[in-house]
Amino acid sequence: MAHQTGRTGRSRRGLNDDNRLRYAFDAGFLSSGAHPHDSPQATDLDVGDSDDPPSSDSEPESSDASNGMSTRLTGLAASLRVLSDSLLRTERAEAEMAKTREALRLQSERRRVESEAEMTQMLLQTELQIASLVSRRNPSRKRKRVKEEEDETPPQVSQREGSLLLSLLQCSLLFS
């Protein structure tokens, strides 16, 4: 009674030691049911005479051992099934994410190409406008009467504006 703890119920010594793991690493495969040949339970069975037929009480032990082994194997199979299902779900999720990433990448690439095409179209439109303004500025031989009418209206593009537009056109051609 000197070793009693504050716990109620059966003490640890009263528990059946056959159901406990013998080693921390065996996970129940070595200590419960299937005993290796060098364990005390296996050597106790071999102590009797080899000429004596096995007793009837040894049959339930072997059937209990085989039931325990089949239970463990069933549990192992279930664990492997759960693991494989988990791995399959993970692989499917990764494949789905890769598919989504690829779709987003293609969508982004499409938007980039559309934006680039729009910018190119704007640049070409600007170059066309610049070229038309510069070409209108070039004086051609006209009749006196038309020239007099032009003098009355202010010129649309000054000399300086024309040269700036021309240099802008040249710069845009360099960068395109």
* CB-based burial, 65-85: b 16+ in 10 Å, e otherwise: eeeeeeebeeeeeeeeeeeee
| pLDDT in 10s for each residue of the chain, 176 residues | 455 555 555 555 555 555 555 555 555 555 555 444 544 544 444 444 455 555 544 455 566 777 878 888 899 999 999 999 999 999 999 999 999 999 999 999 999 999 999 998 988 888 888 778 777 765 555 555 655 555 555 555 577 777 777 777 777 777 76
Q: What is the pLDDT of residue 118?
A: 94
The single-letter DSSP state of residue 2 is T
Q: Amino acid letter at 13?
A: R
Q: What is the pTM of this model?
A: 0.40
Cβ proximity of 133 and 162 under 8 Å: yes
Q: What is the pLDDT of residue 67?
A: 80
Domain membership of residue 28 (yes or no) is yes
State how far the Cα of 88 lies from the Cα of 72, in Å rounded to an integer. 24
Q: What is the pLDDT of residue 112?
A: 97
Domain membership of residue 82 (yes or no) is yes
Domain membership of residue 89 (yes or no) is yes
Q: What is the pLDDT of residue 102?
A: 98
Q: What is the pLDDT of residue 48?
A: 47
Number of domains in the chain: 1
Domain membership of residue 123 (yes or no) is yes
Q: What is the pLDDT of residue 53?
A: 52
**Owning domain of residue 91:** 20-46+56-175
Domain membership of residue 15 (yes or no) is no
Domain membership of residue 2 (yes or no) is no
